[in-house]
């Protein structure tokens, strides 16, 4: 889309591919990039024909090197959209699935953008870290809270308190990476994951995603199971809720409407 300067947004059927496009600074994000991506994901959320989004970085060196500290140090404007870094780290109400295609370095805010996605598929040269303490900062765009929830407190503290770098294979062992592939195969593999999601009812996927994350707010299992989730209510009212069982009974592929 020509309207964007610091990212690209490519539609492919029901799929949106968003690329952070600042390779000259290893795709570090600054306010203008964050506000552009905020608009991209606002539009993605509002578009009924878009079901899944992939987030990646331009080039073969970096997914995102985080907040652009050189821009900050130069006295540049540091305003932030309400949805946070990359328009994602403070976006808590998006029920459509996001896949991070991490094609190299994911440091600081870049790692936090990836953690804000539902799945992380990484190239074999990907590197993850929350190095903020090394420069007198802290991972306050969600990293300090998402990482412990995703891999457990001890493992997360081991990364956060040392600011150490973790490769893709270790990330998979720790549990925040879903799959590791050669860099040349990354986008094809991410598209395969997206295709598997899109074989399912979009309404079912949105209800399931909302229930996963909102359910974590309840320490009691019974409360989590019995809570009313609006996206699940929408599923029960949808055409997909009728189409799925009908297609199964008629032994044909369902024609999902996403509504």
Instruction: Give which of 55, 53, 187 is closest to 123, Cα–Cα.
Output: 187
Give the pLDDT score at 1: 45
Q: Phi/psi zone of residue 27: left (φ > 0), alpha (ψ -120 to 50 degrees), beta? A: left
Backbone angles phi, psi at 216, to 5 degrees: -70, -15
| 132 assigned to active site | yes
Annotated catalytic residue within 132, 199, 223, 230: 132
Stretch 28-57: mean pLDDT: 97
| 112 assigned to active site | yes
Annotated catalytic residue within 3, 5, 10, 112: 112
Which band of pLDDT confidence, cut at 50, 70 and 90, is reported for residue 76?
low
Bridge partners of 20? 7, 57
Return mean pLDDT, the chain. 95
Is there a contact between 65 and 30 (Cβ–Cβ < 8 Å)? no
Output the CA angle 3-80-21, nearest 5 degrees: 40
How confident is the model over 96-131, as pLDDT tens digits?
Answer: 999 999 999 999 999 999 999 999 999 999 999 999
What DSSP assignment string belongs to 64-119? E--B-HHHHHTT------TT-GGGTTT-----S-EEEEE-SEEETHHHHHHHTSSE
How confident is the model over 9-39, as pLDDT tens digits?
Answer: 999 999 999 999 999 999 999 999 999 999 9
The CATH fold of domain 7-198: 2-enoyl-CoA Hydratase; Chain A, domain 1 (3.90.226)
The answer, yes or no, to whether residue 47 has pLDDT greater than 90, is: yes
């Amino acid at each position: 889309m020509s309207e964007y300067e610091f990212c690209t947004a490519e539609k492919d059927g029901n799929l949106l591919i968003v690329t952070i496009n600042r390779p000259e600074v290893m795709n570090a994000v600054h306010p203008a990039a964050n506000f552009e991506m905020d608009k991209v994901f606002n539009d993605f959320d509002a578009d009924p024909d878009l079901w899944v989004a992939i987030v990646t970085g331009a080039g073969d060196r970096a997914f995102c090197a985080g907040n652009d500290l050189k821009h900050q140090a130069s006295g540049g404007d540091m305003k932030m959209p309400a949805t946070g870094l990359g328009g994602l780290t403070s976006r808590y109400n998006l029920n459509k699935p996001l896949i991070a295609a991490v094609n190299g370095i994911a440091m600081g805010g870049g790692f936090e953008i990836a953690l804000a996605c539902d799945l992380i598929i990484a190239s074999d040269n990907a590197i993850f870290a929350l190095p903020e303490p090394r420069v007198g900062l802290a991972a306050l765009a969600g990293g300090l809270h998402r990482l412990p929830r995703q891999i457990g407190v001890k493992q997360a503290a081991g990364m956060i308190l040392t600011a150490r770098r973790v490769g893709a294979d270790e990330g998979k062992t720790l549990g925040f990476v879903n799959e590791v592939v050669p860099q040349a195969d990354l986008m094809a593999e991410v598209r395969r994951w997206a295709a598997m999601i899109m074989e399912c009812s979009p309404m079912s996927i949105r209800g399931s995603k909302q229930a996963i994350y909102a359910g974590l707010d309840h320490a009691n299992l019974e409360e989590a199971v019995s809570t009313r989730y609006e996206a699940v209510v929408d599923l029960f009212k949808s055409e997909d809720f009728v189409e799925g069982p009908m297609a199964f009974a008629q032994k044909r592929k369902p024609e999902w409407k996403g509504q």
